[in-house]
Amino acid sequence: MTGEWFAAGIEYLGVFACAVSGFRMAAAKRYDIFGAAVIGFATAVGGGTLRDVLIDRPVFWMQSPNYLVCTMASFLFYILFRRQVVKFGETILLFDTLGLAMFNMIGIKAALGSGCGMLVAVIMGVVTGSAGGVIRDLLTQQPPLIFQKSELYAVACLLGGATYAAGVALGFHDIAVQIAAILVVIGVRTLSHARNVTLPYAP
């Protein structure tokens, strides 16, 4: 029970971090406040929405108002404290990393729960973690950040997913394997950020 609350708390920190990245991009493009609110929400829930549409499952944010409320609260918070938000960029990065790891795991479990195989589930983890940012970039006319030589973002999800798949195949306890997968995502993303590790250009 405490575990569930803890997981939900981390998920909402991830929603906050994603939404803030959307608000900032919209402001940089001189969009209006409606545009910023929509793009923040699309960044936060876009990945999970695409996943739910692909695996034909009720769209998660329509089942509970929490995600919409959390995004709107994030918008208010961002408007009031945006100077501090920008200054504490490293804290946002931490939320973003925790959120990525949690989104990835939620995506994997959602796909498995809908009867998908492990390969598709790992892909749905990546989609849940990454597609929101692609939607944000499409709506603000940027080349998708995640396809460029930036940090290992999607790759962190892929390695986390591979860890989960391997752990399950080896018969370890599910909770332990989930925690391992989450730690792999956090570790890969943090290390790649710290050491500036990127993927090579497409040949």
Binding site for a second copy (CB under 8 A): 23, 26-27, 29-36, 38-39, 49, 53-56, 58-59, 62, 65, 68, 79, 82, 116-117, 119-120, 123, 134, 138-141, 143-144, 146-149, 154-155, 198-203
Q: How far is the CB of 179 from a second copy (least distance, A)?
A: 25
SS3 70: helix
Distance set, CA 54 to CA 38, 114, 127, 139, 160 (Å):
22, 11, 10, 21, 21
Distance set, CA 117 to CA 5, 20, 33, 62 (Å):
28, 33, 41, 25
Q: How far is the CB of 111 from a second copy (least distance, A)?
A: 9
Residue with tokens 């570790």: 187
- Which phi-psi region, left, alpha or beta, contains residue 171 (left: φ > 0; alpha: ψ -120 to 50)? left
- Six-digit token string for 55: 């695996």
Q: Which is nearer to a second copy, 53 or 176 (CB)?
A: 53
Q: Which is nearer to a second copy, 84 or 198 (CB)?
A: 198
Q: How far is the CB of 29 from a second copy (least distance, A)?
A: 6
Q: Which is nearer to a second copy, 138 or 176 (CB)?
A: 138
Q: Which is nearer to a second copy, 10 or 156 (CB)?
A: 156
Q: Which is nearer to a second copy, 144 or 187 (CB)?
A: 144
Contact 167, 177 (CB under 8 A): yes
The full length of the chain comes to: 203
Q: How far is the CB of 16 from a second copy (least distance, A)?
A: 17
